[in-house]
Each structure stands twice: as structure tokens, then as C-alpha cells.
Structure 1
């Protein structure tokens, strides 16, 4: 079982157009609506692969009802904490070359009691969990220490915790030493306060964070794949996608595959390869769709235990 916590979930509408032109009227060529939020996407990806999961999230307003209906339709087990505000509605504009423009609402302000209820629901749901993954931005007014508090309270129960966030909430979480973090290139640079133009720089930054007590740093690098660093190894995995449709949720699918691998007894390297396959498969799908087993099976991943650390990374 992998439990996810999404403190700021969303209903995600993806609209496809021929090209985005500022200030003009566009006619959509296609559209779809999905349950959203980084942790929700992780649970969706796991459920699509028949991996046991539970998505914990706040739910309120008509958008919250729609979000839960969408999760039910996708057969994603979830535990909703009732809140007074309405869940946010996000819009992604997709162009034929895979370019994605996102318009994200801030989300509802949560009370102190609602925030505590989310953490309690997560701990209760994680009784038999291999991992708890807490992901995404925080709603307005929630303390930047939210993820740090969660890490301390969940790790005290013996559960492993993965964090995927950014900015001040991520910085606070790092100080609490989660088991695993999954930043992207930009988020890792932000965390260590310096540019990371090569794989060597990413490796060095990851090792700086390992020194604080974190056990696994997995960095998603877009077209450059992903780098995973532990105290014992540094591995790189990459998959080529020739016809990308949407990058929305690809990093979340990568994290889902990685955690599934780790919870299934695979080593870090093989788990990274699994994650990269799931993430690359997501890029071949429209909107924030998550891949099926058939989608994943079509992806070829190149994994190396001795990466070329001099490799310069795409911006």
C-alpha cells in the first residue's frame, strides 16, 4: 500500500488547441477533465497499474464533489477530509508539439483544525503502508512547516515518507529528513541555492542533501531522464519519447513508479527505471492521463550505473 497526501488537490481541465496566441479566441480541438494534484496523480498512476493505494485529500464545494466523482470513476481509493472552501479548478492548454501552458488557481484556505485533520487522516490511512508520499503546493494560509510536521509525525510510526514539493515548504521538509525526495531540476537548484548545469552538479547537490539525513534523492530532468543518488550509488535513466503529447503529471507518474519499485523489493536502480518508464509513458498521453500497463510496456529505458557526469543538461 502506498498512501498519498495532496493538501491542495484540483479538478484539471486540459484543452487542446492548434497554437496559443495571446489575446485571441481559440477553438478547442479536444478537451478532457481529470482529478488533479500531485499526490492524486501518484495514486491515479498506481491504481492504473493495479497497485494498492489510498489518496488522502481535502474536499469542499461543488468542485470537491466533482473531484470525488472523478476519483470514483477512475477506481482510485480515497479518503476525503471535509473542508469549508472549494477545491481549485486548474486549466492546461496543450499545443500539438507538447507545449503545455498551465493556469492554476490558489485553492481554498484551510483552518488549523482542517490541516490537523489531514495529517491525522494520513497517519490513520498509513497503518499498513510501505510509503507515504506527500506532494504538491500548499493551500493559502497553511504553514510552510506543514510537510516538516507531517514527516516527523509519520516517520515516528515507522513509515517511510517521500516528499515532492518546492519553495519554502520543501525547504522546511528537507530539514525534517524525509526518507526520499523527488525534486525536478529547477527545484533541486532552488533547494541548494545554485545552478546545476551538468549531471555532476546534480549529483553533488543530491549528496549535499543526503548528508542531512535523507536516504534517497531522485531528480527528474525532463528530456534528460532522471538521476537517483543514495549513499551507495548514482544511477541515471532516460527514455526517448518521439511523439510527446503532454508533460502534465509526468513527474508524478515517475514518482509513482519509483515508489512501486521500492515497495516491491526492487533496488533503487531498477526502481528508477520503473519510474522513468511510467513518466515517459505519461508524456505520450493527452492532458494529465496516467499510463496503462500497455503504455508502460511500450517504453524502452536506458539505465546506467556509471552515468557520464559531464553531460550538460537541457534548460
Structure 2
């Protein structure tokens, strides 16, 4: 976050995964909705995959051809430590595996949702992951999406 995030974005990485608090701290602009997030990135270095975690409000994936929002399953949060890393790992896994954009975001969100239900980290078994994926909703984003 802060100056480190700004410097990293200027290097044009392939993917970033800030959360809304980190964006607000770094750019001193609101960042809770898709429109606000898109405005922040409109004049910044081109990054192919901008994935913004928004806690219980889900995940926005700002992408030129398929901007998406994931509504995360409702879970009991025990710790948020590692949730962002889990989301990022799930995104990379999905992209490198050739999954569709929707499936990539769904599996990444399910993995991150599982991460917050525990202290420490354990990979969910296939059954648990499939339950969380079934509870994850993916929607396309457009300029009129003020709520995402």
C-alpha cells in the first residue's frame, strides 16, 4: 500500500491485487465501487489484470474485455491473514490453467473465502471448494454498476 503500491503500479506488472483500503491510502481517492476503482486506474500504467478485494463486498476484476464482480459466499471469518494471497494464487491458477474468466474469478473467490474461515492455511478438499464455488456469484461489470 501507500508509496510502495504506487511505485509497483508504475512498473506495469501483469497483475495486482490491492484491497480497497490500500487503494484509498495510496491514491487518497474513494475506491469502494467499480466506477471509483476504474477512475483510479484510468490514468495509471496499463496493467492487464487488476483484481480488487473488497472484503465481504466481494471482488472486482477490472479487465478491458471482461470486467467482473464476484459476490463471495457468506462465511464465518476467523482471520483475514492470507486471504488476499489466496485470492491472488487462485487467480494465477485459473489464468495459467486456461479457465474462463468467470471460472477463474469463481475459484479464486472460493479459495479466498475458505482462507478466512481458518487460522493458518489449509487447502480445502474438492468437496468444500465446490460448495464455496456454488455459493459464489459472478456478474459482469458496466459503467452503471455503482453498487459493485
CA deviations 1:82-134 (Å, max 9, x no partner) are xxxxxxxxxxxxxxxxxxxxxxxxxxxxxxxxxxxxxxxxxxxxxxxxxxxxx
**What is the distance in 2 between the residues matched to 1:175 and 1:197?**
22
Q: Does 1:225 align with 2:37?
A: no
Larger strand proportion of the pair = 1
Q: Does 1:310 align with 2:142?
A: no
Shift of 1:275: 0.9
**What is the distance in 1 between the residues matched to 2:17 and 2:122?**
18
**Secondary structure at the counterpart of residue 228 of structure 1:** strand
Shift of 1:256: 0.8
Q: Cα RMSD between the aligned structures?
A: 2.0
| Residue of structure 2 equivalent to 1:129 | none
Of the candidates 97, 111, 119, which is equivalent to residue 264 of structure 1?
A: 97
Larger helix proportion of the pair = 2
Shift of 1:281: 1.0
**Secondary structure at the counterpart of residue 269 of structure 1:** helix
**What is the distance in 1 between the residues matched to 2:20 and 2:68?**
16
Bigger radius of gyration, 1 or 2? Answer: 1
TM-score (norm 1): 0.42
| Residue of structure 1 equivalent to 2:80 | 247
Q: Does 1:187 align with 2:22?
A: yes
Query: Is the 1:241–1:284 contact (alpha carbons within 8 Å) kept by the matching residues of 2?
Result: no
Q: Does 1:289 align with 2:121?
A: yes
Query: Is the 1:219–1:228 contact (alpha carbons within 8 Å) kept by the matching residues of 2?
Result: yes
Query: Is the 1:246–1:283 contact (alpha carbons within 8 Å) kept by the matching residues of 2?
Result: yes
Query: Is the 1:207–1:229 contact (alpha carbons within 8 Å) kept by the matching residues of 2?
Result: no
Aligned residues: 144
| Residue of structure 2 equivalent to 1:148 | none
**What is the distance in 1 between the residues matched to 2:40 and 2:60?**
11
Query: Is the 2:15–2:49 contact (alpha carbons within 8 Å) kept by the matching residues of 1?
Result: yes
Distance 1:259 1:229, change over 3 A: same
Larger RCO: Structure 1 or Structure 2 (Cα < 8 Å, ≥ 6 residues apart)? 2
